[in-house]
């Protein structure tokens, strides 16, 4: 029987080094207690934030010190929980850290409303009095920009206090899908029992035996069907919370509120959707190629993840994948490349799946820690690309915190997904240029096509779904399980026109955790578009060509800027204009060209 190991059975070298944050849980406890006591220090400044330049600087610096410590305490607890989501001790630590973060947010909630009492001219005068305030120029500009959507200090404190409640549906969903749901075991063609998990589900749908894929697909979605009403209730209330919070901040729609935070015009969202719809014929072509490659009369939803090569891809063990990824990053410069290699040696990555481990992958860590990457590595090409992806996030954070003060050390998801996808695109170019094995090359080309399909098309489909779901809530229409199925199924039929859309796939919305972070997923699609444009500029003559050093330096400059400018301005540093459809159209054109290449190879 195929089984997932216990955490204790995974070699230490393939686990992340959380002891580099706190050597023991007792050290975490001491840090927690210390910062919890400091939160009350902020009370002394309420009502006095803008009294004079010195006071403004003091409160901003104190707030940063507290939030830095809170973020580290929270990150450690969350990552310990993610090692095994059934561990009650770390569930409790995470809950305490979340409460502390909410308390800290509440304690700082008066700062922005009081800053908004200033005019721009008054702040400039304060900078003249205290030059250290110049560091906060963009931050203050952003705060003043949000003045129409910021409530009184009392209301802001209330909204901060409610953050745990408004985010509770996501926590419920997370525990349900990762800790409580038990997916069935199915028999593979050799008669072996295979356990379905959140992490291996898609990988199992790449197995060559079609009847096996159908069993996995139907059993997996049948388990979701058994949780249908619970998940629908969680998502309905998540959408309702988004809408109510947007209304509380004087926005017309939840989408407008979500995009206004990073200062991204809603036109960017609509341009993405429209450009993708104008190019659905390419996705239909991809689906038809899959049907032909599989030699079936109808392409079923359990066939969609099958590679165009018609069989399982080659095994790529983790150590080999790490070597490929490091080598592929040479066009970005020796320093960038060597630092990735050092990070992999320093246990940035928690590599393998274990019982109870959080599914998926992410890059974490804080301003005061090394990066940490959670993975569920499956010894395949897809996992290798995920490693490259998450390392892009980690290096973005590393370069940013070296160059920027804490206030600009974060960055919006809109630009974050560019860094991750640049790494993926460079990996594709490197493998196509250096690997001679024709079968391996076919799988790399297939991986590129699948990445565009799943990142540009699939995430845009998700973006349409959540936009329509929020529109229904805003129009006062009930978000029942049946209505959500109907909505999702309609989009699936439009996007995958040549394929058979069945009742099981209509429930797919239930398995998407990103829906509990509203209007998030579209940024994967804009991100891959921007990334492909950047790589095209860095390697203007294609894979293996001499890199354009100026373009590579522009890209690194973009990474080093953190959040010191707004997202569209940051991307212009890297040579990309996301206010137009050009990067999206270029990405889709490349997708179409490589589909044609694959079509010829298959013939």
Helix pair 228-248, 458-474: axis angle to 10 deg = 70
**According to DSSP H, which parts of 53-179 are helical?**
53-83, 88-107, 111-115, 120-129, 137-145, 153-161, 163-166, 168-175
Tokens for 219, please give them: 């059993």
Task: Report the run of H or E that residue 375 belongs to, with start and end.
Answer: strand 372-377
Cα torsion for 455, 461, 466, 472, to the nearest 10°? 170
Strand order in the sheet with 362-364: 349-352, 372-377, 362-364
Residue 229 token pair: 């009403």
DSSP H or E run through 28: helix 25-38
In three-state secondary structure terms, 353 is coil
Residue 378 three-state SS: coil
Query: What's the DSSP call for residue 372?
Result: E
What span, in angstroms and rounded, lies between the C-alpha atoms of 161 and 351? 36
Which tokens is 314 given?
């080659």
Catalytic residue flag (residue 65): no
Which of 157, 353, 390, 450 is the catalytic position?
A: 390
- Going by their DSSP bridges, the two strands 193-195 and 185-187 should be labelled as antiparallel
Contact call for residues 399 and 509 (beta carbons, < 8 A): no
The single-letter DSSP state of residue 352 is E
481: tokens are 């399980």
What's the rounded Cα separation, in Å, for the pair 521 and 534?
20
Map tokens 């409303």 to a residue. Answer: 113
Radius of gyration of the chain (CA): 24
Of 198, 194, 193, 204, which is closest to residue 182 (Cα–Cα)? 198
The whole-angstrom distance between residue 577's C-alpha and the CA centroid of its chain comes to 22
The full 3-state SS of 42-82, as one line of letters, equals HHHHCCCCCCCHHHHHHHHHHHHHHHHHHHHHHHHHHHHHH
End-to-end CA gap in the chain? 39
Element housing 358 (H / E)? none
> By C-alpha distance, which of 450, 326, 340 is closest to 396?
340
* CA atoms of 390 and 556, how far apart (whole Å): 17
Answer whether 385's CB lies under 8 Å from 424's CB. yes
Beta pairing partners, 187: 193
Give residues with Cβ within 8 angstroms of 71, minimum separation 6: 101, 366, 367
SS (H, E, C) 241-272: HHHHHHHHCCCCCHHHHHHHCCCCCHHHHHHH
Q: Tokens at residue 483, please?
A: 């209505």
Q: Can you tell me which residue has the tokens 């204009």?
A: 577
CB 543 within 8 A of CB 433: yes
Residues taking part in catalysis: 390
């Amino acid at each position: 029987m195929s089984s997932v190991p216990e955490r204790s059975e995974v070699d230490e070298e393939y686990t992340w080094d959380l002891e580099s944050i706190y050597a023991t849980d007792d050290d975490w406890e001491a840090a927690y207690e210390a910062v919890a006591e400091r939160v009350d220090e902020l009370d002394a400044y309420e009502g006095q934030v803008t009294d004079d330049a010195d006071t403004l600087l003091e409160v901003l610096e104190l707030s940063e010190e507290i939030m830095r410590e809170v973020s580290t305490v929270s990150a450690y607890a969350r990552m310990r929980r993610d090692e095994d989501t059934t561990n009650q001790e770390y569930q409790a630590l995470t809950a305490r850290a979340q409460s502390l973060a909410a308390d800290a947010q509440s304690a700082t909630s008066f700062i922005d409303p009081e800053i908004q009492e200033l005019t721009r001219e008054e702040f400039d005068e304060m900078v003249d009095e205290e030059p250290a305030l110049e560091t906060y120029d963009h931050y203050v500009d952003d705060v003043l920009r949000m003045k129409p959507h910021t409530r009184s200090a009392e209301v802001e404190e209330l909204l901060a206090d409610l953050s745990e409640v408004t985010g509770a549906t996501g926590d419920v969903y997370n525990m349900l899908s990762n800790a409580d749901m038990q997916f069935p075991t199915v028999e593979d063609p050799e008669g072996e029992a295979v356990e379905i998990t959140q992490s291996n589900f898609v990988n199992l749908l790449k197995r060559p035996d079609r009847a096996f894929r159908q069993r996995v697909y139907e059993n997996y979605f049948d388990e979701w069907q058994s949780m249908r009403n619970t998940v629908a209730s969680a998502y309905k209330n998540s959408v309702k919370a988004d809408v109510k919070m947007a209304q509380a901040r004087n926005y017309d729609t939840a989408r407008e509120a979500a995009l206004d935070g990073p200062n991204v015009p809603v036109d960017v969202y609509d341009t993405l959707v429209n450009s993708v719809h104008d190019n659905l014929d390419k996705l239909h072509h991809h689906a038809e190629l899959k049907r032909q490659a599989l030699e079936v009369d109808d392409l079923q939803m359990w066939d969609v993840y099958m590679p165009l090569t018609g069989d399982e891809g080659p095994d790529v063990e983790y150590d080999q994948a790490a070597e490929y990824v490091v080598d592929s990053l040479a066009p970005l410069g020796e320093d960038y490349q060597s630092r990735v290699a050092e990070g992999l040696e320093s246990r940035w990555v928690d590599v393998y799946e274990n019982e109870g481990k959080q599914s998926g992958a992410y890059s974490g860590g804080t301003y005061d820690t090394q990066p940490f990457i959670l993975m569920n590595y499956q010894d395949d090409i897809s996992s290798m690309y995920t490693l490259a992806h998450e390392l892009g996030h980690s290096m973005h954070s590393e370069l940013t915190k070296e160059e920027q003060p804490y206030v600009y050390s974060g960055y919006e998801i809109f630009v974050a997904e560019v860094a991750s996808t640049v790494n993926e695109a460079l990996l594709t170019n490197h493998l196509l240029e250096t690997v001679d094995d024709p079968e391996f090359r076919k799988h790399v080309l297939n991986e590129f096509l699948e990445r565009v399909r799943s990142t540009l098309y699939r995430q845009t489909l998700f973006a349409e779904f959540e936009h329509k779901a929020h529109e229904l809530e805003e129009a006062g229409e009930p978000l029942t399980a049946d209505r959500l199925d109907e909505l999702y199924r309609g989009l699936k039929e439009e996007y995958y026109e040549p394929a058979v859309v069945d009742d099981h796939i209509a429930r797919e919305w239930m398995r998407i955790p990103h829906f509990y972070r509203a209007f998030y997923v579209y940024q994967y699609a804009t991100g891959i578009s921007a990334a492909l444009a950047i790589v095209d500029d860095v390697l203007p003559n294609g894979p293996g060509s001499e890199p354009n050093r100026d373009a590579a330096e522009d890209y690194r400059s973009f990474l080093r800027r953190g959040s010191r400018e707004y997202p569209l301005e940051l991307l212009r540093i890297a040579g990309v204009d996301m206010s137009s459809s050009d990067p999206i159209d270029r990405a889709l054109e490349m997708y179409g060209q490589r589909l044609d290449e694959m079509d010829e190879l298959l013939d």
